[in-house]
Amino acid sequence: MTPSPTLVWARLELAESLRSKWVAFAVTLYVLMAATFVWLGLRESSVLGFTGLTRVLLNVSNAVLLVFPLVVLTGTHGAVVRAKTSGFFELMLTQPTKRSEWFAGLLLSRLLVLIGPLAVLLLGMGLAAQLLGTEPGLLKVAARSLAVVVALIFSFVGMGLWVSSRARTTERAMVWALGIWALTAALHDVLLIATLLRTSLPAEAVFFLAALNPSEAARIGLLSSVDPELSVLGPVGFWLANSLGPARTLAIAVGWPLLLGAFATWRAKRNLETRDLVA
């Protein structure tokens, strides 16, 4: 049975990704991050009432919100534009395959490389706690956290591919990718805090402005999986816990990044199918 072109392209892109240094860097970063937080989380001190492996899982997930978008954008911003400038598309167009099949294989390989190690890390921690009987409910928390982080990864993969499909050079794609990361990871918090200091916004408006940023939406979802009352968020957390509840809060934390990622991926696919592939 002949494999589909999408799977063939995915296997080739996966092999290329495994040979690149950024994948090894990402895996090493996961391991070091998990080891550090395990050492800190299993100590007797507590932060905001979270101790043990729950604290470890929460810290790992929150660190991912800051580090992982940068890793994702670094690994995807040059995928399309580099193939265009290197002459890869000239060779691809001579093969009996479609542009959409190559794009699907590229997307599949990137998601597998980026999500696979993290899924092993989070679910492994939850399963270990379940088998040891130290924190029986941690496996459920790990699954919810994984769903939030996977949605966040998908959104930034889509944005990275969109940037790559529009940029004419790798350097320009890198600048755009760093701008997206700075806006979502750093400047959003600064702008939101400045707005709150200048105006008296209701809790609904604060939540809406924060949730527009996929990283902030994911952070709220992670907190709701560990602390359903969201007491660490103050009045906004009180409003979320009583108006939306943990289930709806988690749905927004997963649904909005997935929707944003799907739109960005669709735009990247459209750019690839309609634009000239030969630089």
How many structural domains does the chain have? 1
In a domain, 279, yes or no: no
CB atoms near residue 172 (< 10 Å): 14
Predicted model pTM:
0.82
Which is higher by pLDDT, 63 or 113? 113
Q: Tell me the pLDDT tens digit for each residue of 49-96.
A: 444 555 565 666 666 677 778 888 888 888 888 888 877 777 777 777
Reduced to 3 states (helix: H, G, I; strand: E, B; else coil), residue 224 is helix
Average pLDDT over residues 154-161: 92
In a domain, 37, yes or no: yes
Residue 147: pLDDT over 70: yes
Q: Tell me the pLDDT tens digit for each residue of 191-207.
A: 666 666 666 766 667 66
Which is higher by pLDDT, 212 or 174? 174
Closest CA to 126 of 116, 136, 117: 136
Cα–Cα distance measured from residue 101 to residue 261, given in angstroms and rounded to the nearest whole number = 19
In a domain, 27, yes or no: yes
In a domain, 165, yes or no: yes
Mutual angle of helices 245-274 and 99-132, in 10-degree steps: 150
Which of 19-28, 187-196, 253-262 has the lowest average pLDDT?
187-196
Task: Judge whether 136 and 130 are in contact, CB under 8 Å.
Answer: yes
Task: Judge whether 45 and 142 are in contact, CB under 8 Å.
Answer: no
Cα–Cα distance measured from residue 237 to residue 231, given in angstroms and rounded to the nearest whole number = 6
Residues with Cβ < 8 Å from 273, sequence gap 6 or more?
99, 100
CB atoms near residue 100 (< 10 Å): 13
For the record, the structure tokens of 102 come out as: 């190559």
In a domain, 159, yes or no: yes
| Beta bridge partners of residue 47, listed in sequence order | 50
In terms of residue numbers, what domain contains 14?
5-274
